[in-house]
């Protein structure tokens, strides 16, 4: 089944999505918000540029975007997978609770903000290019990987990991390393957990995994489970 989104409001389009069944395509997407919001088991291909909050609260679907995406991809996503064959705007994976997001290229600011993990719900965010400031801000759980498959030496912006108190961030090692906040511990990355997701990224986007896995990476983890304790406790 194919839904032609040309000329449709986001409300009209999402009404059709809810009735479309388990496998369908959307063509001519142009900024419609909330596509696949809360969607359960389904396979969706999107051609065009979906609007903000693609896959918000998504609960098991697999959404593939054949192009770029706007802000808040996977906002508070619960499970499923989103694959973007292009660039992505700000706040991808905001408050993500589970599932996987793969971005072929770059993302904007505040990627992975407040991601969290509970029991077997582990959110995964893989970014192929570079990302803006505040990556992993207030990270509480899950895994963020920035592969840095781009020409730029600096692959993350300022304030990476600010307020981080759980989870892990893996970044391609560069000659320029950001000044990380005191909540973050920086060390050589162990790719044991990350390798399957890096291999998935390479499979989705036709990248040879061998040179990607052979690069050096750094690993950011929280240096305290309660980074703001000193603000509230008197010695």
Give the pLDDT confidence score for residue 152 in this predicted structure.
83
In this prediction, the residues of the chain whose per-residue pLDDT falls under 50 are: 232-235
Give the pLDDT confidence score for residue 175 in this predicted structure.
76
Give the pLDDT confidence score for residue 63 in this predicted structure.
98
With beta carbons less than 8 A apart as the criterion, state whether 116 and 95 touch.
Answer: yes
As a whole number of angstroms, the distance between CA 116 and CA 100 comes to 13
Give the pLDDT confidence score for residue 83 in this predicted structure.
98
200: CATH: 2.160.20.60
Number of domains in the chain: 1
- Report the sign of the C-alpha dihedral through residues 167, 172, 173, 178, in that order: negative
Give the pLDDT confidence score for residue 151 in this predicted structure.
82
- Residue 25 lies in domain: 2-232
Give the pLDDT confidence score for residue 235 in this predicted structure.
45
Which of 110, 119, 140 is closest to 225 using CA atoms?
140
pTM here is 0.94
Compute the residue count for the chain: 235
As a whole number of angstroms, the distance between CA 161 and CA 169 comes to 8
With beta carbons less than 8 A apart as the criterion, state whether 34 and 58 touch.
Answer: no
Give the residue ranges of DSSP H helices in the chain: 10-18, 195-205, 209-214, 229-232
Give the pLDDT confidence score for residue 33 in this predicted structure.
97
């Amino acid at each position: 089944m194919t839904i032609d989104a040309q000329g449709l409001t986001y409300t009209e389009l999402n009404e059709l999505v809810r009735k479309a069944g388990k496998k369908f395509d959307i063509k001519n997407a142009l900024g419609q918000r909330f596509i696949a919001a809360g969607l359960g088991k389904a396979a969706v291909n999107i051609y065009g540029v979906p609007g903000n909050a693609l896959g918000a609260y998504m609960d098991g679907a697999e959404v593939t975007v054949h192009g770029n995406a706007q802000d808040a991809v996977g906002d508070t996503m619960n499970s499923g997978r989103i694959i973007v064959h292009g660039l992505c705007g700000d706040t991808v994976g905001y408050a993500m609770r589970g599932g996987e997001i793969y971005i072929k290229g770059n993302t904007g600011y505040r990627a992975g903000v407040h991601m969290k993990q509970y029991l077997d719900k582990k959110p995964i965010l893989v970014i192929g290019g570079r990302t803006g400031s505040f990556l992993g801000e207030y990270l509480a759980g899950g895994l963020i990987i920035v592969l840095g498959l781009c020409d730029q030496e600096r692959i993350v912006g300022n304030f990476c990991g600010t307020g981080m108190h759980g989870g892990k961030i893996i970044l391609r090692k560069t000659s320029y390393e950001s000044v990380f906040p005191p909540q973050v511990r920086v060390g050589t990355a162990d790719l044991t957990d990350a390798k399957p997701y890096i291999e998935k990224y390479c499979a989705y986007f036709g990248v040879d995994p061998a040179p990607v896995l052979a690069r050096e990476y750094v690993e950011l983890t929280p240096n305290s489970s309660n980074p703001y304790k000193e603000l509230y406790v008197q010695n």
